[in-house]
Structure 1
């Protein structure tokens, strides 16, 4: 059972992973799934450049930060857009 204070964090992370490209999502999941893996190992496994994967990672962190800071506002805007 997950502590209630972490449930929203997990929901935010899952949402962010669901809206980015699948290839990007796999890289992010790989990095965070193993606390012993280095970023260099993820880069090597993915067969992409370091800078490209670092950009994906930074973009994910930025998106997650925006969602955690403004999530309620995004939900409201989405509902309004769907009703229009």
Structure 2
């Protein structure tokens, strides 16, 4: 069963989130957070995550076959990415503040 993060990622990769940002300003923040998280993971992980969430008809097994990796490896990548995204979405402002303070020191 898909969770809210899965729905958010599907909306991001489908372009729906960009359309929704005109109605809901929080969507702009979500786009920034997802884009940031995608930029800090390994390209191989990004490719698998992008492949899965950009095509709602593809299965993890198909993504695994294309990547030549085990199902458990790709699920770990996905779960790690979703966990990173959740941390950034909940505490991103705190990280920015801490980084700014560290740069000032």
Structure 1 residues 3-46: Cα deviation after superposition (integer angstroms, max 9, x where no partner): 22311111110000001111111111111111111111111110
Partners in 2 of 1:48 and 1:58 — Cα distance? 15
Q: TM-score, normalised by structure 1?
A: 0.91
Gapped regions of structure 1 (runs ≥ 5): none
2:90 to 66, 69, 76: 69
Aligned residue in 1 for 2:32: 11
Gapped regions of structure 2 (runs ≥ 5): 1-17
- Higher RCO (CA < 8 A, seq sep 6+): 1
Partners in 2 of 1:52 and 1:13 — Cα distance? 21
RMSD of equivalent CA atoms:
1.3
Q: Runs of 4 or more off by more than 3 Å in structure 1?
A: none
